[in-house]
Amino acid sequence: MRGNDLDAFNILAEIVARGSFKKAAEALHKTVPAISYSVSQLEKRYGLSLVDRSSYRATLTDHGLRLLSEARKVMAQAEYLDSVAAQLLDDWEPSLEVIIDGMLDPRIVLDTIQALKAKGVSTTFQLTTEYLGGVEKRFQQNRADIMFTLNYTANEQWHCENLFDIDVMLVASPHLLTDRQTTYELNDLTRYLEVSVKDSSFTDPVPGRSLGGLDMFFVGDFYTKKQAILRGMGLGWMPSTWIKEELASGDLVEVPYRGGARDRYRLWLGTWKTSAAGKAQTRFIEAVKAGL
């Protein structure tokens, strides 16, 4: 398809919408001979009859309908390309990579990206999930733009600010705790299998919240961890936001642990000090904070 073809197909679309060459010409602020010439040149270019001129109301032939259908896709892509170029000229980043800790409820990030996309932001977002020390490792390795980390270590190269705390709870299936004790001591609980999400940093793993027993079952994400605990395979620490429904239904129960069945992690938002934030990063962070 040539550049002039886009204009000709736009004329063809107006003819279909208006029902006549005259009304299409008025809508496009062109003369009837001008749009007739564009259509005839398009027909000549493809060697096909595109408009049925035998009736009072202008309609497309089968060939015309098929070509216009395909042309609409190209026209939409061309319009999107113009939008992308305009945003790049206006300091919108072509891409934005976000690293999150898997303990964070991803809806916070997904809602933000969805809202930005609904406003026509053309930036390509990449979301990567890591755990504990793996977040900072991936942030550094990929030179990503934003990270949501639980394992903040002071670094002169990046800026971090605390967003909120993530509450976690030691839970189990009610069928697992069969002895029905009022309160469990640590030695009582270490007899059970403990389900845990392993730190995704292979070079320098950070220990997470653990009872310290010898019988551990490591999984790769909190969804799998929750399913294992629901099955009665073992007990484990879960973010409270992930298990609200299961606690309400009684499918999971808080373990009555004397040492404390509740804890919290601080969630930090990190960005590079050495990189100026573009509009996508700025709007993304503003929207996350506004949604808290």
pLDDT tens profile 187-212: 989 989 999 998 888 665 555 678 88
Whether the CB-CB separation of 100 and 135 falls below 8 Å is answered with: yes
Same domain, 34 and 175: no
Same domain, 38 and 84: yes
Same domain, 43 and 73: yes
* Nearest partner of 74 among 3, 166, 173, judged by Cα: 3
* Nearest partner of 123 among 106, 102, 146, judged by Cα: 146
**pTM (2 d.p.):** 0.68
Q: How far apart are CA 111 and CA 116, in angstroms?
A: 9
Phi, psi of 233, deg, nearest 5 = -70, -30
Count the domains in the chain: 2
Average pLDDT rounded to a whole number, residues 230-251: 96
Same domain, 126 and 208: yes
Which one of 38, 54, 89 terminates a domain? 89
Same domain, 44 and 137: no
CATH of the domain at 225: 3.40.190.290
Same domain, 43 and 98: no
* Nearest partner of 102 among 150, 51, 63, judged by Cα: 150
Same domain, 275 and 141: yes
Same domain, 9 and 153: no
Same domain, 105 and 185: yes
Which one of 74, 89, 104 terminates a domain? 89
Q: DSSP readout, the chain?
A: --HHHHHHHHHHHHHHHHSSHHHHHHHHT--HHHHHHHHHHHHHHHTS--EE-SSSS-EE-HHHHHHHHHHHHHHHHHHHHHHHHHHHHTT--SEEEEEEETTS-THHHHHHHHHHHHTT--PEEEEEEE-THHHHHHHHHHT-SEEEESS----TTEEEEEEEEEEEEEEE-TTT-TT--SSB-HHHHTTS-EEEEPPS-SSSPPP-S----S-EEEESSHHHHHHHHHTTS-BEEEEGGGSHHHHHHTSSEE--BTT-SEEEEEEEEEEETTS---HHHHHHHHHHHHT-
Please write the tens of the pLDDT for every residue from 128-173. 999 988 999 999 999 999 999 997 777 888 899 999 999 999 999 9
Same domain, 72 and 159: no
Same domain, 65 and 156: no
Helix (H, G, I), strand (E, B), or coil: what is residue 135?
helix
Instruction: Please report the pLDDT score of residue 205 as a whole number.
Output: 53
CATH of the domain at 59: 1.10.10.10
Instruction: Please report the pLDDT score of residue 284 as a whole number.
Output: 95
Which one of 89, 119, 134 terminates a domain? 89
The bridge status of strand 194-197 relative to strand 216-219 is parallel
Q: How far apart are CA 271 and CA 289, in angstroms?
A: 14
Same domain, 153 and 290: yes
Could you tell me what percent of the chain has a pLDDT over 90?
Answer: 47
**Whole-number average pLDDT of the chain:** 87
The gap between the terminal CA atoms of the chain, to the nearest Å, is: 48
Task: Please give the residue range of the domain that contains residue 15.
Answer: 3-89
Give the range among 39-43, 176-180, 200-204 with minimum mean pLDDT.
200-204
Structure tokens at 40: 């005839």
